[in-house]
Amino acid sequence: MQKHTPYDTGKVKIGLLYTEPPPETTPESDWIQGVLLGDKQGVSELMLVTIQSIGLIAFIIIIGIFLIGGNTNA
């Protein structure tokens, strides 16, 4: 980011106090900021996704055992 010098008219320096606007926020940065500021909703969403992921992995493992042949009768 290059800082431009103000346009000098001789009496007035146009743009002397101009600062560029901050960059746009992303959903990830909003989530991180919410967690750091103690937003309970951001934490509960993370917990929900974690529980769903663990449940899905357990379901896949159980189905895999049945499909591969978890038959122990030899």
- Three-class SS of the chain: CCCCCCEECCCCEECCCCCCCCCCCCHHHHHHHHHHCCCHHHHHHHHHHHHHHHHHHHHHHHHHHHHHCCCCCC
Say what the pLDDT of residue 70 is: 62
Q: What is the pLDDT along the chain (74 residues), one digit of tens a residue?
A: 566 677 778 888 888 888 888 889 998 888 888 878 887 665 577 788 888 999 999 999 999 888 887 665 65
Tokens 């992995």 label which residue?
57
CA dist., res. 26 & res. 37, Å (int): 16
Say what the pLDDT of residue 73 is: 60
- pTM value? 0.38
